[in-house]
Structures are given as structure tokens and as C-alpha cells.
Amino acid sequence: MLREVTAVRYVNPLRTGGSVPGVVEADDLGTYVLKFTGSAQGVKALVAEIVVGELARRLGLRFPELVLAHFDPAVAVDEPHQEVQDLLHASAGLNLGMDFLPGAVDFTPDIAESFPLDPLEAGRIVWLDALTVNVDRTVHSSNLMVWPTFGTAPPRLWLIDHGAALVFHHRWEGAEPAKAYDFKHHALGGYGPDTRAADAELAPKVTEELLREVVALVPDAWLTDFATPDEARDAYVAYLLARARASAAWLPTDFPSRDELAAADARRAAAMEKGRPAWLKRVPDLHGKPGAEQDWSVHLG
């Protein structure tokens, strides 16, 4: 089972994502990024966080520890923003915490230009994303962190934020285990991911026993799609097991290079700019000097 902690201090909200998670300190002296049940994404995002994150850990990928965190909105009484307060009050009770990685930085395109990564490691991450149908690890939103290690060892990549994975559980009746995963803008596509080697290594490890171990970690109250939580767990196990066995049908093997991605982005930006009305491109700057103009495409693009 996941460890349970109680939040004793609300530090601050994180506004980098739509769910507005918060950094909290807990009674075990740990610091966690708390994902709230009251967020717009709902509890299915938390189910995906547990299933994909704990599956990643068991497959040997780096992923922060998850805990079940009891949260009382009273610990955040000093939070000044009403919309955050509304979220916190809607999330009283059990939520999901992810171990905070102090000093970690986002894996951005700028970092990717010089960050060394073995094609097999890149392939393992892409393979996991393809297995779990994760649509939210893109070049511009990697959901990867670079965390320094101790001593002379180089920084390592850590996976975070899998709430957008398991897209099939939003519509079970249309779930197709063999559906292709064509994700050319994956954050690690420029590393030439060796997904074939990753598939040979990881697919045999995704057993029914392993999947049952992972889905057993999800609280019953968050499994609401079926008559009972056990039926829901059976559905997750059946889908992911069938998908692992059908990897030949969905395995991504062709990724554009960084230069090709940059060129595609440039063409897309040029096309958007070409279609932008002239009045939107340049309007008078009413706050500047007389006659001055401001390029609003920077602010509105």
C-alpha cells in the first residue's frame, strides 16, 4: 500500500499546470506536491498518476514516491487567492502527494540540446508512454525533471505528472488495446529512442500479477466507473495486459529529428502569422510615446 501522511503546512500553489497542485509539508517531515481531488481533472487523473507512476517504478524508471495525503483546508487559511481556496475546500480529505524534488528543473528544449541520454533509456520512457497512452509528454511540455545527483554522478531524468495518461478510461466502451501510438512530438523523440529494444525488455515484465499489484494501490473511492472497485481494477488490468501483448501493433519507431521538429514549428508559426489580421499584428501603443506601436502578436500568439 502507499504510505499515508497528513499535510501540516500549505507552502504555495504551483500554477504551471491546469490542476494547480500545491506544495505541502507533512507530518513525516517530507515535502510533497499535492494533487487535489477537487481539481477540474477529477479523480481519474489521480488514478492515472498512481497506475502509470507505480508501473514506471516497477519497470525501473525514475519516478518520485507517491503517498496518500490527508488534507485539511484549515492548514491553508492564509492562501490569498479565492480560486485556489475554492479548490482546497473542494479537496478536503484524501489526496495524492508526490515527493518534492528540491533543486530539480524542467526538462526544456534548451536543456535537451545538451543533455546526454542513451537511446535505450529514451526508448523505455517512450515505450511506457505508448503502453499507457500518455498524450502529455511533448517537446514543449515534457513532464520530465532533471534532478542533480550526489557526488560526481550526472543529473538524471525523472518522470512526473501522468494525469493525462490512460485516456481509455474516459470512455471504456471505445477502448482498443492495439490502437497505434503515433506521437511524433514526444519530448524525447530527438534522441532516437530505441523502442524495439525497450519493448523486448519491458513487455515481458508487464504481467497480470504486476498490474494487479499496481492497481491495488488506488483507493476504492477513486474507482467509480464500475459497479465495484474490484470490477474497475479488473478492467484496468485486462486493458493494459492486452495492450502490452499487442505492442507490435502500437510500437512507435519513427521520430523526427530536432531539426525537423524545429522546422515544423517554424512552418506552423509562419502559417499562423500569415493568417493573423493586420490589425492584430500591430496596434498603437497607447501607453508609450506618441506614434509608437507595439507588436501584440507577442502577447496574443
- pLDDT, residue 149, reads 65
Instruction: Provide the total of helices (H) and of strands (E) in the chain, helices listed first.
Output: 11, 10
- pLDDT, residue 273, reads 73
The torsion of the CA quartet 262, 18, 108, 167, rounded to 10 degrees, works out to -70
- pLDDT, residue 43, reads 96
d(CA 17, CA 20): 6
Grid look-up 519530448 returns: 187
Grid cell digits, residue 284: 498603437
Q: Output phi, psi for 76, to 5 deg.
A: -115, 30
What does the DSSP assignment read for 273-293? HHTS-HHHHEEE-TTSSTT-E
CB 158 within 8 A of CB 148: no
- Taking residue 1's Cβ as centre, other Cβ atoms within 10 Å add up to 7
Tens of each residue's pLDDT in the chain, 301 residues: 899 999 999 999 997 767 899 999 999 999 999 999 999 889 999 999 999 999 999 999 999 999 999 999 999 999 999 999 999 999 999 999 999 999 999 999 899 888 999 999 999 999 999 999 999 999 889 999 999 866 667 889 999 999 999 999 999 998 999 999 877 789 999 999 999 999 999 999 999 999 999 999 999 999 999 999 999 999 999 999 999 999 999 999 888 766 776 777 678 777 777 766 665 555 454 444 444 443 333 333 3
DSSP letter, residue 269: H
Q: What is the pLDDT of residues 68-117, one digit of tens each?
A: 999 999 999 999 999 999 999 999 999 999 999 999 999 998 998 889 99
SS (H, E, C) 179-244: CCCCCCCECCHHHCCCHHHHHHHHHHHCCHHHHHHHHCCCCHHHCCCCCCHHHHHHHHHHHHHHHH
Grid look-up 481533472 returns: 41
d(CA 288, CA 167): 48
In the chain, DSSP assigns E strands to 3-13, 22-26, 31-35, 66-71, 93-99, 105-106, 144-147, 156-159, 282-284, 293-295
- pLDDT, residue 281, reads 56
Q: What is the pLDDT of residues 246-276, one digit of tens each?
A: 999 999 988 876 677 677 767 877 777 776 6
- Sequence-distant (6+) residues with CB within 8 A of 235 are 172, 225, 226
d(CA 247, CA 129): 12
- pLDDT, residue 34, reads 97
